Amino acid sequence: MKKILLLFSAFCVLINVIPGGIPASAAIIIDHASTDLAQIPDQWITEAKADLHIAYQHTSHGSQLITGMNALQRYPDYGTKYSWTDAGTAGTLDLDDGGIPGCNDLSVGDSIDGNGVTPWVTATRTLLGNPANSHVNVIVWSWCSINGHNAQRYVDNMEILIAQYPSVKFVFMTGHAEGQGLDMSLNSVHYNNQLIRNHCATHDRILFDFADIEAYNPDGTYFWDKDMSDNLDYTGGNWAVQWIAAHPAHELTKLTTGTTGYSGCSGCAHSDSPVQANLNCVLKGRAAWWLWARLAGWPGPGGISTTTTTTIPGSPCPAAMVLGGSNPKLENLRAFRDSSLANSLAGRKLIEIYYKNAGSINAALDRSPALRAFTCSVLETIAPMVGK
């Protein structure tokens, strides 16, 4: 307890140098309202290609994002705008598909391993601990079936990673429809999805709401409560078949069924029959590009960018800037961060706030040599104490 109080005192010193206090943050939620590509300014597609280095691990259902992105990449009207490659070659988004070896997906990894965490946390740590992967700044894991799994364990283990790797963006994800509708039985599909949504909204996290995207047709009609399944069948038919029949000339219809010079989207895992159900992948591919643009800094339609008041990924740790990167006392602070603070919700929140505001803290310290000297003195005094 004494160590926590000491480090919290240092934390308060650093946070209080931010002019105007801690900037507000907000969750990034990608859902059925996040599929209109026309709303994304070209600048943010370009920024995503330049700045993001994504590792995405999934099995069949998670491949729906990739199938949809591939369809966008092949659509003649888009040219090379939505191009992506595993290696991030010039002019493309760097997305390492299947890029986190060691665990197939979140469903397979829903257990606790010998390290006291889920296998997908261990796999992520192995990936990020390799110096060759130091460029990776976005991690995405997908579910196969979420039904019967422990969503609370999932969000708790995501928080462990968020605390340990503050310069990496971790994307939460919900699970696909399985015909259960709004059943809220413990660990059912809807129960788990709601738990994840509530967690992300409460803690200002990044969420790709896989379930919500397939729960609505493009006109905004809701089908999840009609025992919808993962190929968009529901009690009244198949909503993709019905919507495409009513919108034969729409761009989404062309992306799904084809047009001149383009054969359409096909092979959408678990949503390829009827053929119109490939619309599921098209929508998720479009939502994926919303996600990449938001992660690159786009504030969303009508939003105001906050990049001047929040940390750009990779902003130097203020303690390292004050003490000097080679100061051995930094290891005491880092060890306490990883072994003590990261093991509690309150501690993880402190870590998150600290790194979110690193850029602002550094700027304030640079403006005031006296404040910098005082902060250095506090850290020099506390570091040996928390190391004991």
Looking at the structure, do residues 115 and 93 belong to the same domain, yes or no?
yes
| 303 in a structural domain | no
Residue that is last in its domain, among 296, 328, 347: 296
- What pLDDT does residue 212 have? 98
Q: How many helices (H) and strands (E) does the chain have?
A: 15, 9
Q: Is beta strand 233-234 parallel, antiparallel or unpaired with respect to 237-238?
A: antiparallel
Residue 87 lies in a domain: yes
Kindly state whether residues 88 and 204 are assigned to the same domain: yes
Same-domain pairing of 181 and 246 = yes
Return the exposure string of 41-80: e unless at least 16 CB atoms fall within 10 Å of the residue's CB, then b.
Answer: eeebbebbbebbbbbbbbbebbbbbbbbbbbbbbbeeeee
DSSP assignment of 346-366: HHHHHHHHHHHTHHHHHHHHH
> Does residue 301 form part of some domain?
no
266 and 353 share a domain? no
Confidence of residue 41 (pLDDT cuts 50, 70, 90): very high
Q: Which helix (H) or strand (E) holds 237?
A: strand 237-238
Please check whether residues 95 and 33 belong to one and the same domain.
yes
Looking at every residue in the chain, the average pLDDT score rounds to: 88
Query: Is residue 129 domain-shared with residue 230, that is, in the same domain?
Result: yes
pTM of the model: 0.75
Q: Note whether 140 and 224 are same-domain residues.
A: yes
Position 5 scores a pLDDT of: 56
State how many domains the chain has. Answer: 2
**End-of-domain residue from the set 269, 296, 323:** 296
Angle at 135 between CA 133 and CA 136, to 5 degrees: 75
CA–CA gap between residue 49 and residue 251 (Å, rounded): 24
Is 213 a domain residue? yes
Tell me, yes or no, whether 202 lies in a domain. yes
| pLDDT(370) > 80 | no
**Gyration radius from the chain CA atoms:** 22
Phi, psi at 30, each rounded to 5°: -105, 115
Give residue 201's identity as a one-letter amino acid code. A
Domain shared by 207 and 261, yes or no: yes
Give yes or no: residues 135 and 7 share one domain: no
Of 246, 265, 296, which residue constitutes the final position of a domain?
Answer: 296
Residue 229 sits at the vertex; the CA angle it makes with 102 and 156, to the nearest 5 degrees, is 40
Domain with residue 44: its CATH number is 3.40.50
Name residue 314's beta-bridge partners: none
Average pLDDT over residues 65-74: 98
* pLDDT at residue 32 tops 90: yes
pLDDT at residue 229, rounded to an integer: 98
How far is it, in rounded angstroms, from Cα 57 to Cα 136?
A: 13
Domain around 180 = 28-296
Residue 110: inside a domain: yes
C-alpha 215 chain-centroid distance: 20
Judgement on whether residues 344 and 279 belong to the same structural domain of the protein: no
Residue 322 predicted with pLDDT over 50 = yes
